[in-house]
Protein backbone atom coordinates (compact mmCIF):
# COMPACT_ATOMS: atom_id res chain seq x y z
CA UNK A 1 0.00 0.00 0.00
CA UNK A 2 1.12 3.55 -0.71
CA UNK A 3 2.77 5.52 2.09
CA UNK A 4 0.22 7.47 4.10
CA UNK A 5 1.83 10.83 3.38
CA UNK A 6 2.00 10.54 -0.40
CA UNK A 7 -0.76 11.82 -2.66
CA UNK A 8 -1.80 8.22 -3.45
CA UNK A 9 -1.89 7.32 0.26
CA UNK A 10 -4.13 10.30 0.98
CA UNK A 11 -6.38 9.52 -1.99
CA UNK A 12 -6.67 5.90 -0.88
CA UNK A 13 -7.65 6.98 2.64
CA UNK A 14 -10.53 9.16 1.46
CA UNK A 15 -11.57 6.64 -1.19
CA UNK A 16 -12.01 4.01 1.52
CA UNK A 17 -13.81 6.49 3.78
CA UNK A 18 -16.35 7.13 1.01
CA UNK A 19 -16.72 3.50 -0.06
CA UNK A 20 -17.33 2.32 3.50
CA UNK A 21 -19.87 5.08 4.19
CA UNK A 22 -17.79 6.88 6.80
CA UNK A 23 -18.04 9.99 4.64
CA UNK A 24 -21.62 10.41 3.43
CA UNK A 25 -22.69 11.92 0.13
CA UNK A 26 -22.64 15.72 0.34
CA UNK A 27 -20.12 15.83 3.20
CA UNK A 28 -17.86 18.87 2.96
CA UNK A 29 -14.16 18.19 3.43
CA UNK A 30 -12.07 20.55 5.60
CA UNK A 31 -10.33 23.47 3.94
CA UNK A 32 -7.27 22.37 2.00
CA UNK A 33 -4.96 24.30 4.31
CA UNK A 34 -6.34 22.39 7.31
CA UNK A 35 -5.94 19.10 5.50
CA UNK A 36 -2.33 19.90 4.63
CA UNK A 37 -1.58 20.65 8.28
CA UNK A 38 -3.39 17.50 9.45
CA UNK A 39 -1.53 15.25 7.02
CA UNK A 40 1.78 17.11 7.19
CA UNK A 41 2.06 17.46 3.41
CA UNK A 42 2.48 20.26 0.91
CA UNK A 43 -0.38 21.98 -0.88
CA UNK A 44 0.79 20.40 -4.13
CA UNK A 45 0.55 16.88 -2.68
CA UNK A 46 -2.92 17.49 -1.25
CA UNK A 47 -4.15 19.09 -4.49
CA UNK A 48 -2.96 16.09 -6.49
CA UNK A 49 -4.73 13.66 -4.13
CA UNK A 50 -8.03 15.56 -4.28
CA UNK A 51 -7.84 15.98 -8.04
CA UNK A 52 -7.42 12.23 -8.43
CA UNK A 53 -10.62 11.63 -6.44
CA UNK A 54 -12.48 14.25 -8.50
CA UNK A 55 -11.41 12.45 -11.69
CA UNK A 56 -12.61 9.12 -10.26
CA UNK A 57 -15.99 10.62 -9.32
CA UNK A 58 -15.67 10.43 -5.54
CA UNK A 59 -15.52 14.20 -4.98
CA UNK A 60 -16.61 17.40 -6.64
CA UNK A 61 -15.41 20.95 -6.11
CA UNK A 62 -17.26 24.26 -6.11
CA UNK A 63 -16.56 27.82 -4.92
CA UNK A 64 -17.87 26.64 -1.53
CA UNK A 65 -15.28 23.88 -1.16
CA UNK A 66 -14.74 20.17 -1.81
CA UNK A 67 -17.60 17.72 -1.25
CA UNK A 68 -18.33 13.99 -1.46
CA UNK A 69 -20.29 13.42 -4.66
CA UNK A 70 -24.07 13.36 -4.10
CA UNK A 71 -24.63 10.60 -6.67
CA UNK A 72 -21.28 8.85 -6.90
CA UNK A 73 -20.65 6.88 -10.06
CA UNK A 74 -18.10 4.64 -8.39
CA UNK A 75 -18.28 1.12 -7.06
CA UNK A 76 -15.84 -1.01 -5.14
CA UNK A 77 -13.05 -2.86 -6.92
CA UNK A 78 -11.97 -6.40 -6.09
CA UNK A 79 -9.13 -4.90 -4.05
CA UNK A 80 -11.57 -2.73 -2.09
CA UNK A 81 -13.78 -5.72 -1.33
CA UNK A 82 -10.87 -7.89 -0.25
CA UNK A 83 -9.70 -5.12 2.10
CA UNK A 84 -13.25 -4.99 3.49
CA UNK A 85 -13.18 -8.75 4.09
CA UNK A 86 -9.91 -8.36 5.97
CA UNK A 87 -11.36 -5.51 8.05
CA UNK A 88 -14.90 -6.66 8.87
CA UNK A 89 -15.15 -10.17 7.33
CA UNK A 90 -17.67 -9.04 4.69
CA UNK A 91 -17.14 -8.16 1.02
CA UNK A 92 -20.07 -5.72 1.10
CA UNK A 93 -19.29 -2.05 1.65
CA UNK A 94 -21.32 -0.04 4.17
CA UNK A 95 -24.77 0.96 2.87
CA UNK A 96 -24.62 -1.64 0.08
CA UNK A 97 -27.49 -4.04 -0.41
CA UNK A 98 -27.29 -7.51 -1.89
CA UNK A 99 -30.04 -9.69 -3.35
CA UNK A 100 -29.04 -13.33 -3.82
CA UNK A 101 -30.82 -14.95 -6.76
CA UNK A 102 -29.02 -18.31 -7.00
CA UNK A 103 -27.39 -20.55 -4.37
CA UNK A 104 -26.79 -24.13 -5.47
CA UNK A 105 -24.37 -26.98 -6.05
CA UNK A 106 -23.56 -27.12 -9.75
CA UNK A 107 -21.13 -28.69 -12.21
CA UNK A 108 -19.26 -25.62 -13.48
CA UNK A 109 -18.00 -24.88 -17.00
CA UNK A 110 -14.78 -26.63 -18.01
CA UNK A 111 -12.57 -23.55 -17.52
CA UNK A 112 -13.83 -23.21 -13.94
CA UNK A 113 -13.30 -26.93 -13.30
CA UNK A 114 -9.69 -26.51 -14.39
CA UNK A 115 -9.24 -23.45 -12.19
CA UNK A 116 -10.30 -25.43 -9.10
CA UNK A 117 -8.52 -28.61 -10.22
CA UNK A 118 -11.73 -30.67 -10.36
CA UNK A 119 -12.41 -33.99 -12.02
CA UNK A 120 -15.14 -34.08 -14.70
CA UNK A 121 -18.57 -34.02 -13.08
CA UNK A 122 -17.39 -32.54 -9.76
CA UNK A 123 -19.56 -29.80 -8.35
CA UNK A 124 -18.92 -26.36 -6.87
CA UNK A 125 -21.09 -23.99 -4.86
CA UNK A 126 -22.50 -21.36 -7.24
CA UNK A 127 -23.99 -18.11 -5.94
CA UNK A 128 -25.38 -15.23 -7.98
CA UNK A 129 -26.37 -11.83 -6.62
CA UNK A 130 -27.02 -8.21 -7.46
CA UNK A 131 -25.30 -5.54 -5.40
CA UNK A 132 -26.78 -2.07 -5.10
CA UNK A 133 -26.73 1.21 -3.25
CA UNK A 134 -30.15 2.76 -2.68
CA UNK A 135 -32.14 2.26 -5.89
CA UNK A 136 -28.99 1.88 -8.00
CA UNK A 137 -27.85 -1.54 -9.19
CA UNK A 138 -24.08 -1.36 -9.20
CA UNK A 139 -22.89 -4.92 -9.86
CA UNK A 140 -24.10 -8.34 -10.97
CA UNK A 141 -21.90 -11.19 -9.81
CA UNK A 142 -21.63 -14.94 -9.81
CA UNK A 143 -19.13 -16.66 -7.50
CA UNK A 144 -17.90 -20.22 -7.03
CA UNK A 145 -16.60 -21.97 -3.89
CA UNK A 146 -15.35 -25.54 -3.30
CA UNK A 147 -18.31 -27.82 -2.66
CA UNK A 148 -16.95 -29.00 0.70
CA UNK A 149 -17.34 -25.48 2.05
CA UNK A 150 -21.13 -25.94 2.05
CA UNK A 151 -20.90 -28.67 4.70
CA UNK A 152 -19.15 -26.25 7.05
CA UNK A 153 -21.17 -23.16 6.14
CA UNK A 154 -24.68 -24.28 5.07
CA UNK A 155 -25.72 -20.67 4.38
CA UNK A 156 -23.70 -20.89 1.17
CA UNK A 157 -26.72 -22.70 -0.26
CA UNK A 158 -29.28 -20.18 1.00
CA UNK A 159 -30.79 -17.22 -0.84
CA UNK A 160 -32.46 -15.92 2.33
CA UNK A 161 -32.08 -12.15 2.87
CA UNK A 162 -29.45 -11.28 5.43
CA UNK A 163 -27.44 -14.49 5.18
CA UNK A 164 -25.05 -13.15 2.55
CA UNK A 165 -23.49 -10.47 4.75
CA UNK A 166 -20.26 -11.71 6.27
CA UNK A 167 -20.54 -15.05 4.47
CA UNK A 168 -16.98 -15.12 3.17
CA UNK A 169 -15.69 -14.28 6.65
CA UNK A 170 -17.58 -17.28 8.03
CA UNK A 171 -16.14 -19.47 5.28
CA UNK A 172 -12.60 -18.42 6.17
CA UNK A 173 -13.19 -18.99 9.87
CA UNK A 174 -14.84 -22.39 9.35
CA UNK A 175 -12.19 -23.68 6.95
CA UNK A 176 -9.13 -22.10 8.56
CA UNK A 177 -8.15 -20.69 5.15
CA UNK A 178 -6.59 -17.26 4.56
CA UNK A 179 -6.61 -15.37 1.27
CA UNK A 180 -2.97 -14.75 0.40
CA UNK A 181 -3.17 -14.11 -3.34
CA UNK A 182 -5.65 -12.11 -5.41
CA UNK A 183 -5.95 -11.31 -9.10
CA UNK A 184 -8.46 -9.26 -11.11
CA UNK A 185 -8.94 -9.29 -14.89
CA UNK A 186 -11.28 -6.86 -16.68
CA UNK A 187 -12.54 -6.17 -20.17
CA UNK A 188 -15.27 -4.19 -21.90
CA UNK A 189 -18.05 -6.00 -23.78
CA UNK A 190 -21.81 -6.03 -24.31
CA UNK A 191 -24.24 -7.37 -21.72
CA UNK A 192 -26.12 -10.57 -22.40
CA UNK A 193 -29.82 -10.83 -21.56
CA UNK A 194 -29.24 -12.26 -18.07
CA UNK A 195 -26.76 -9.54 -17.14
CA UNK A 196 -28.88 -6.76 -18.63
CA UNK A 197 -31.97 -7.91 -16.72
CA UNK A 198 -30.03 -8.08 -13.43
CA UNK A 199 -28.57 -4.58 -13.86
CA UNK A 200 -31.70 -2.97 -15.29
CA UNK A 201 -30.01 -1.92 -18.54
CA UNK A 202 -30.87 -2.63 -22.21
CA UNK A 203 -29.85 -6.00 -23.61
CA UNK A 204 -26.56 -5.55 -25.45
CA UNK A 205 -25.60 -2.39 -23.55
CA UNK A 206 -21.90 -1.80 -22.94
CA UNK A 207 -20.58 -3.06 -19.59
CA UNK A 208 -17.28 -3.52 -17.80
CA UNK A 209 -16.88 -7.23 -17.04
CA UNK A 210 -14.28 -8.91 -14.92
CA UNK A 211 -13.22 -11.88 -12.86
CA UNK A 212 -11.43 -12.22 -9.55
CA UNK A 213 -9.53 -15.13 -8.05
CA UNK A 214 -8.86 -15.22 -4.31
CA UNK A 215 -6.68 -18.10 -3.19
CA UNK A 216 -4.04 -19.49 -0.84
CA UNK A 217 -1.41 -22.22 -1.11
CA UNK A 218 -4.17 -24.87 -1.07
CA UNK A 219 -5.92 -23.44 -4.11
CA UNK A 220 -8.80 -21.16 -5.07
CA UNK A 221 -11.08 -20.07 -2.23
CA UNK A 222 -13.43 -17.84 -4.27
CA UNK A 223 -13.68 -17.30 -8.01
CA UNK A 224 -16.05 -14.57 -9.16
CA UNK A 225 -17.34 -13.23 -12.46
CA UNK A 226 -18.92 -9.78 -12.33
CA UNK A 227 -20.09 -6.87 -14.47
CA UNK A 228 -21.03 -3.23 -13.93
CA UNK A 229 -22.74 -0.61 -16.12
CA UNK A 230 -20.37 1.73 -17.93
CA UNK A 231 -21.59 4.74 -15.92
CA UNK A 232 -19.65 3.39 -12.94
CA UNK A 233 -15.92 3.63 -12.31
CA UNK A 234 -13.73 1.31 -10.26
CA UNK A 235 -10.22 2.20 -9.17
CA UNK A 236 -7.47 0.94 -6.92
CA UNK A 237 -4.01 1.86 -5.73
CA UNK A 238 -0.86 -0.11 -6.38
CA UNK A 239 2.83 0.43 -5.79
CA UNK A 240 5.81 -0.44 -7.95
Torsions phi, psi of 154, nearest 5?
-60, -25
Q: What is the pLDDT of residues 187-203, one digit of tens each?
A: 999 999 999 999 988 99
Instruction: Kindly state the DSSP code that residue 154 receives in the 8-state scheme.
Output: G
Element housing 79 (H / E): helix 78-88
Task: Specify whether the CB–CB gap between 209 and 188 falls below 8 A.
Answer: yes
Give me the pLDDT at residue 22, please.
Answer: 82
- Cα distances (Å, whole numbers) of residue 190 to 134, 205, 225, 234: 25, 5, 15, 18
Question: Strands 181-190, 97-106: parallel, antiparallel or unpaired by DSSP?
Answer: unpaired
Fold of 7-68: Arc Repressor Mutant, subunit A (1.10.10)
Q: Where in the chain is the domain with CATH 3.40.1410.10?
A: 78-229
For domain 78-229, the question of CATH label 3.30.910.20 is answered with no
Q: Where in the chain is the domain with CATH 1.10.10.10?
A: 7-68
Task: Measure CA 174 to chain center.
Answer: 23
Give me the pLDDT at residue 1, please.
Answer: 40
19 pLDDT higher than 80: no
Residue 2: which pLDDT band, with cuts at 50, 70 and 90?
very low
Q: What is the pLDDT of residues 105-135, one digit of tens each?
A: 999 999 999 999 999 999 999 999 999 876 6
Contacts of 146 (CB under 8 A, 6+ apart): 116, 124, 125, 219, 220, 221
Range name among 28-42, 75-89, 195-209 with the lowest pLDDT average:
75-89
Give me the pLDDT at residue 190, please.
Answer: 97
Amino acid sequence: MADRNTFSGIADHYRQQILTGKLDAGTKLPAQREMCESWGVSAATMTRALQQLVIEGYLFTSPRGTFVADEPTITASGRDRLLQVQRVRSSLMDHETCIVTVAELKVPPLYVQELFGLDPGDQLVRREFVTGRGRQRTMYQGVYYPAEFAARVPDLLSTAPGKNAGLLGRVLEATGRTITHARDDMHGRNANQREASALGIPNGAAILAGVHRWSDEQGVIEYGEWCIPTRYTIGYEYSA
